[in-house]
A and B are shown apart, each in its own frame.
Chain A
Amino acid sequence: AQKITQTQPGMFVQEKEAVTLDCTYDTSDQSYGLFWYKQPSSGEMIFLIYQGSYDEQNATEGRYSLNFQKARKSANLVISASQLGDSAMYFCAMREAQGAGGTSYGKLTFGQGTILTVHP
C-alpha cells in the first residue's frame, strides 16, 4: 500500500484565489512528520511547511497552511491568495524514524505530486 497518496494529478486555480491540495498518508507509527515541498520547472525541491504528529495546531507559514486531520490521516496543503509564481509541482511527504547501527535518521517518503497551474 502506498504510504503517501496525492489523488489530484493536476489542479487549476485563478490568481488571488485559494486552493487546497490533498494528501493522505498511512502509518502505524505514533510519531511522524509531514512535509510539503514545491518543485518548479527548474527541478529544485523547496520546503514549504511541516506538521508534527503531536502538534495540536495546524501549521502555517505565510500563505501556506496545513489542514491536519489526524483521525482521517490527511494533511492537505492550503495556499491562499494564489500567485502566478505558485505554478509548480507540489509533493506531500512523510518521515518515520528509522535507526540502524546506533545512528538515527528519518526516511522521507514522497507522494506522486500534484501539478498546480495558476491562471491570471
Chain B
Amino acid sequence: ETGVTQTPRHLVMGMTNKKSLKCEQHLGHNAMYWYKQSAKKPLELMFVYSLEERVENNSVPSRFSPECPNSSHLFLHLHTLQPEDSALYLCASSQEEQVYLNEQFFGPGTRLTVL
C-alpha cells in the first residue's frame, strides 16, 4: 500500500450505531488530519494530530471522537450521529518540518450516510 488509505470507502449507519473510520498513511509523515466535506460547503478541518498529539479540535461535536495510536494510524469513532453528519470524510497527512512547503496528502475518503 502506498500513500494514504481509508476504510471503509462507503458507510451507511443508523443514528444509534457506533462505527469507526480508519486512516493509514504509508509516507512516514508526522501529522494527520480529519476533514469533513459536505455538499456545497468548503472542506472543514475537524481534527489535527501532530506528533500523535491532538493540536486542534475545531468545535466538533463530541459524537465524533478521534484517536491517533501512532504516527501512521488515525481513527474517527462515530456514535449517535445525525443525518446532517452525512458527508465525505477525508483523512490527510503531512510532514511538518517546513510548514509552508509541505502539502497535505489526502486519502480517497469515506462517504458516510446517516439514516
A interface, CB within 8 angstroms of B:
4, 31-33, 35, 37, 42-47, 50, 52-53, 91, 95, 97-98, 100-101, 103-113
Residues of chain A with a CB closer than 8 A to B40's CB: 112
- B32: min CB distance to chain A, Å: 10
Residues of A within 8 A of B101 (CB): 33, 50, 52
A43 and B109: CB pair below 8 A?
yes
B105 at the interface (CB under 8 A from A): yes
Bound: A101/B55 CA distance, A: 8
- Contact partner of B102 (CB less than 8 A), chosen from A37, A100, A106, A110, is A106
- Closest chain-A Cβ to B72's Cβ sits at a distance in Å of 17
Check B114 for interface membership: any CB of A closer than 8 A: no
A-facing residues in B1-51 (Cβ within 8 Å)? 31, 33, 40-43, 45, 48, 50-51
Question: When the two chains form their complex, are residues A105 and B96 in contact, meaning their CB atoms are under 8 A apart?
Answer: yes
Closest to B58 in A: A107
- Determine the chain A residues whose CB is within 8 A of the CB of B79 once the complex forms: none
- Nearest first, the 9 closest Cβ-Cβ pairs linking A and B are A45-B106, A33-B100, A43-B109, A106-B99, A110-B43, A103-B50, A105-B50, A44-B108, A47-B103
**A44-B106 contact in complex given A100-B56, A103-B55, C-beta closer than 8 Å:** yes
Contacting residue for A50 out of B103, B105, B108, B109, CB 8 A: B103
User: Pick the contact of A112 from B41, B92, B107, B109 — CB < 8 Å?
Assistant: B41
Whether B108 and A103, one on each chain, are in contact in the complex, defined by CB atoms closer than 8 angstroms, is no
Is residue B94 contacting chain A, with contact meaning CB distance below 8 A?
yes
Interface contact A32-B100, CB-CB below 8 Å: yes
B81 close to A (CB within 8 Å)? no
Question: Within 8 Å CB of B77, what residues of A?
Answer: none
A7 to chain B, nearest CB (A): 13
Residues of B within 8 A of A33 (CB): 99-101
Chain B positions 72 through 115: 1 when the CB is less than 8 Å from some CB of chain A, otherwise 0 = 00000000000000001010101010011111111111010000
Q: How near does chain A come to B20, taking the closest CB pair, in angstroms?
A: 19
* B107 shortest CB reach to chain A, Å: 7
Bound form: Cα–Cα A4–B94 in Å: 21
Contacts of B111 in A (CB 8 A): 43
